[in-house]
Amino acid sequence: MNEDRNNNSGEKTEKDKMLAGELYYPADPELTRDRYRAKKLMWKYNAITELNFSKEELLEERMKIIKQWFGKVESYIFIEPPFYCDYGYNISMAEFVYMNHNCVILDVNTIEIGARTMFGPNCQLLSATHLTDPETRMKGLELGLPIKIGENCWIGGGVIVCPGVTIGDNVTIGAGSVVTQDVPDNVITVGNPSRVIKN
């Protein structure tokens, strides 16, 4: 595979396929470089602590890195380290999103999070997935589906959001839930798999 292949031929790159939700080859050189860049920013971000900076300086330093790292951010967002992701550039967060410690975003496809949405510790947003067919998996192919989370949601500690899920506005998801299907606005949902228990 040509490391510096451009798209003049009209042929999709592996990155194009990844973002289109198609099977792609994650060991592609371009994607490998992108993940390496994200990991360097991730470790730099996670190394910034209250021991190094005042409270005001801490927020500024973190936002500088996030603006280099994420695809789109509005105003201030607050992510407690450690935080982990694959690429960063597929993540969009509106203003005042809060993530507690040890959250993971596998952003092989787009992850959109609305304003004032909060996450407890150890949450996982997993856009990455694999086919159940073992022969396809053995070829090293993967795919990803987008995740969208609305505004003013509360995502409890340890929640897992699976590929392709859309969560509406003003939703509460109970701690430890596994969200496998779309969630409408204005509900409380809990369990594995998560189900609506209250409007």
Q: Which residues are catalytic?
A: 130
Distance CA 108, CA 93 (A): 16
Q: With CA atoms as reference, report the closest residue to 111 among 100, 127, 123, 95.
A: 127
Buried b (16+ CB within 10 A) or exposed e, 155-175: bbbbbbbbbbbbbbbbbbbbe
- How would you class 147 by CB atoms within 10 Å of its CB: exposed for 0-12, middle for 13-18, buried for 19 or more? buried
Count Cα neighbours of 154 within 13 Å in the Cβ-side half-sphere.
9
Q: With CA atoms as reference, report the closest residue to 87 among 177, 24, 176.
A: 24
Distance CA 173, CA 83 (A): 20
